[in-house]
Amino acid sequence: MVRVASVKGSKLPVPKAKQKKTKMRKQEPEEANRNVNMETATSDQSLITILDDIKSSKLPAVINYGASWCGVCSQTFPAFQELSSSFKRIKFVYADIDECPETTLRIRYTPTFQFYRDGEKVDEMFGAGEERLHDRLWLLS
């Protein structure tokens, strides 16, 4: 297809060299972009199921309680995702307090990180700090 340019009222074809080439990006399936050891709780029931799995598992886990309206949560979430790639033996969970209102009633600050080992909560961290989070994950692993 040839683009047509207008020059003083007449329509002239634009040479192919000057035409913009737009390449369609191949869309990858959503599953390919997700980390294997990261889950998102989308409702109270899904968070209850995830917590039951954590409590019955021997694997360590961290839950990030945040909110879509929380600026600090939005800033720390990419680091949380990146850390999930570095600590493959730890299960990472994100729970939005607005999507899981019944099961997150005791969460008073966002973000709040809870750390589990052998099914028991062993640590809790309030607020941001990628380095602090990394250190706690290193201790947990």
Supply the residues annotated as catalytic: 70, 73
Q: Which residues contact 141 (CB under 8 A, 6 or more apart)?
A: 60, 87, 89, 90
| Contact call for residues 63 and 80 (beta carbons, < 8 A) | no
Closest C-alpha among 88, 2, 101, 93 to residue 44 = 101
Structure tokens at 41: 């709780």
Dihedral of the alpha carbons of 69, 60, 135, 130, in degrees to the nearest 10: -20
Give the sheet arrangement for strand 120-126, strand by strand.
38-41, 91-96, 61-66, 112-117, 120-126
